[in-house]
Amino acid sequence: MFLILSAIVIIILYYYSTRNFNYFAKRKIKYEPPIPIFGNHSQVVFARLTEIERISAIYNKYQNEKVVGYFRGTTPDLIVRDPELLKHIFNLDFLQFHQRGLGRDPKYEPVMLNLFSADGDRWKLVRHGLSPAFTSSKLKSMFPIIVECAEKLEQVAMKLALQKEDFDFVDLSSRFTIEIIGSCGFGIEMDTMNNEHCLFLQLRDMIFIKSIWQIVLFGIRDLFPNSIIKRIPISRPDIMRIINEIVNGIRRQRLENNITRNDFMNLLLEIQKNGKITGESLEETDENGKPKQVEIEFDDAYVSAQLFIFFAAGFETASTAMSFTMHQLAYHPEIQRKIQEEIDTVLSKYDNKLCFEAVNEMTLLECAFKEAMRLFPPGGLTTRFCAKEFKVPNSNITIEAGTRLIIPIQAIHMDPKYFDNPTEFRPDRFTPDATKSRHKYVYLPFGEGPRKCIGARLGIVETMAGLAAILRKFTVEPSPLSTRDIVRRKTSYLVQAVEGGLPCRLTLREQYQEKKCENAQEVPNHETLKKTKVTQRYSCYANSELTKGSQLVESIVELS
């Protein structure tokens, strides 16, 4: 009897898990042959490959297709390979593809109310409310704060160069971007909110590194998306608790001291004070076919969710881009020298001071940054959800409503059809002439269209300021621990991460050698950046001496 029941269970499970496996064959779409239960997703479920690596492999296998079928368990998704189709998805037919389709309900995970994760009218209204924080004038007004952070970065770099220490550049760039987020985003100062400063650092690992439990939850949700498991939150419970503490601490401090700051946090509090955001609907029309007026109540949950995404997007993505750019320059000294010469020339026009105008003139540096983002985009893929049936132009393919589309950014960036010898680091790919000659939708580090990253320009400017601050005085070189080829961390989430960090070393440029003695007395002691293993990368923040407000913390990261 037991054997019979077991056989019946196996047959039922097999039938259930393979029932959709003829989906693409019936539609004459090429697809990767699936296996029962897992489809094409087993290596991702068991953290053998990142989803970016798995999708890239399939993208490369089917080189002549506009789309390729992919089974996420039993669910059929489409991998988009055609830049012309991407133009429709991101822009021309945006109203049919405005949803990311992440499948996580804010009712169970309030953090998903953030701008990146929100869909439909909620996304449109939140984006409209936050747009004033990212204008060109706002960016220019906050640049002096970025310069102050860059000067502290120079101090730390000086100590590392003089002591000839190897260190993890991911760690150094993380400290720099955290300080910018704290100062420009939340106006947090070390002497006013000391207890909350370390909360940002606690958030980092909670957000970007999957726990074993999260790996299991992601796997089950991918394989059984319509099961009761979708009601179980994936994000760690402590994330919202810590974020709420930060929000309440900032609000209390500003009310008690009658402080008004022109920063991101102030914008959120002003929106909340007004109560509601109103605008035209993306999804609903009246009897005349015109968009209906809709509104959302911008409460504490919305404030905390936007704080979460501002931190997540502003800190880790910029840090990843900055550190990988330096990694590439360490292995390409001839390109590094040309960029240093450009920095010298540009700064000489501005009394050798870093300023907004100077950074905007550093075209070679920006090309190098963009090329690094091509090779290793922090967000290596994105998704869109088809809201209603869509006929793919110039093909016999119809995308059904409810289909998730996977845009494999990393794979497109590495496609030799668009970038010859794609593994080579060649900043000249991003000169104005080269950019004009290339299809707009084959370089997508920030996405494109109405859902393009709202903080893209801030990310570019803060990263370039940090790079310029280092390269004006120092030369970056590989350390004995460095490896040219990186390994992606399998448990990373949202943003790609490098296994083992990016170890390197700095040396003073010749024109600054004479100043090294006097500078050596001015730079704070700094031991933790010598650590290069990922498991050690953020452990320094737990050191009791650092969290008590040591000279190191005051000099490097006011938030830490």
402, 432 contact by CB (below 8 A): no
265, 186 contact by CB (below 8 A): yes
The secondary structure element, H or E, covering residue 284 is: strand 276-285
Q: Which residue, 168, 213, 195, 160, is CA-closest to 503?
A: 168
Residue 242 CB neighbour total at 10 angstroms? 20
73, 39 contact by CB (below 8 A): yes
Q: Which residues are annotated as a binding site for heme?
A: 453
| Amino acid letter, residue 485 | D
DSSP for 72-134, please give it.
ETTEEEEEE--HHHHHIIIIITGGGS-B------TTT-GGGGSTTT--HHHHHHHHHHHGGGG
Distance CA 148, CA 311 (A): 19
486, 120 contact by CB (below 8 A): no
Burial of 197 (0-12, 13-18, 19+ CB in 10 A): buried
Q: What is the DSSP letter of 498?
A: B
Q: Which phi and psi angles does 409 have, rounded to 5°?
A: -55, -50
DSSP for 206-270, please give it.
HHHB--HHHHHHHHHHHHSTTSGGGGS--S-HHHHHHHHHHHHHHHHHHHHHT---SSHHHHHHH
502, 170 contact by CB (below 8 A): yes
215, 236 contact by CB (below 8 A): no
* DSSP-derived 3-state class of residue 20: coil
Q: How far is CA 42 from CA 51, 73, 168, 261, in A?
A: 10, 8, 33, 49
Q: Which residues are annotated as a binding site?
A: 453
β-pairing, 398-399 vs 291-297, is unpaired
Torsional sign, CA 321, 157, 468, 503: negative
Distance CA 254, CA 496 (A): 36
